[in-house]
Copies of this chain bind each other. A is one copy, B any other.
Amino acid sequence: MDGRDQIRVVLVRPLYGGNIGSVCRGMMNFGFSRLVLVAPREGWDQDEARKYALGTVSILEQRTEAATLDEAVADCVAVTGTTARRGLYRSQAAAPRDWAPEFLARADLGPAALVFGPEDKGLTTDELARCTHQVMIPTSEAYPSMNLSHAVNLLLYELSTAAGGFDLPGEPSPEATVELRERMFAAWEETLRDIGFFGDDKARHMMLGLRRILTRGRLTENDVKILMGIARQAQWAGRREPGSI
């Protein structure tokens, strides 16, 4: 595994169970499992948290709780604070994409924490001052305030991507070579003459149009086989005796 193992998500004075549950879900999506709640609101809705956590209740159940932020991060070698507000002591906040590789590298050296403030007010200036890193998600100035679990989710996505992410399935067929493409265009030209779509006068112009359409994007070997198959079949259908299909 990578630095993700060392990273805990710390929610400071969270208010709503639904957000806490949604945070668990985002953590599981991106391969994180350590949740710490610092002084959550008295009587926060644990049933709602379970409902929103869906299949990730294990993260909720294995959380730890701490009375203060200092206690929650005492053993950490790096602590990132999050802020949505602009201000004098928040000016060194990095954008998520610049921050993620640096923070991940730090987490290789020891435990690290990613800290979020309460839904309504965020972290205090004193709390931010205790952090070794600050990150700010660039949102619209007209509406900068993000939902807590959206913010957590987005930063964990950035860390996961910086860590190499998870593999996407990928295109199973290799990209077609020029040689293969040329065989396909030759088959189409022959067919389009055979079925009377064009004669010598229009052939060059129309084939350029067809080339332009079919080389605009990626084209795999499988794609070429399908296109070649259509050309051959049309040629066959055009040559058959009338009524013989």
Contacts and interface: CB of A to CB of B under 8 A. Distances in A.
Interface of A: 18, 22, 25-26, 28-31, 52, 54-56, 86, 90-95, 97, 136-147, 149-150, 153-154, 157, 160-161, 165-172
Contacts of A52: 147
A138 B168 contact: yes
A150 B22 contact: yes
A142 B166 CA distance: 11
Contacts of A97: 161
A93 B29 contact: no
Nearest to A88: B172
**A91, A93, A147 — which one has the most chain B CB atoms within 10 A of its CB?**
A147
A155 to B, nearest CB: 10
A146 B90 contact: no
Given A91-B171, A168-B95, A171-B91, A150 B26 contact: yes
Contacts of A56: 143
Contacts of A145: 29, 54-55
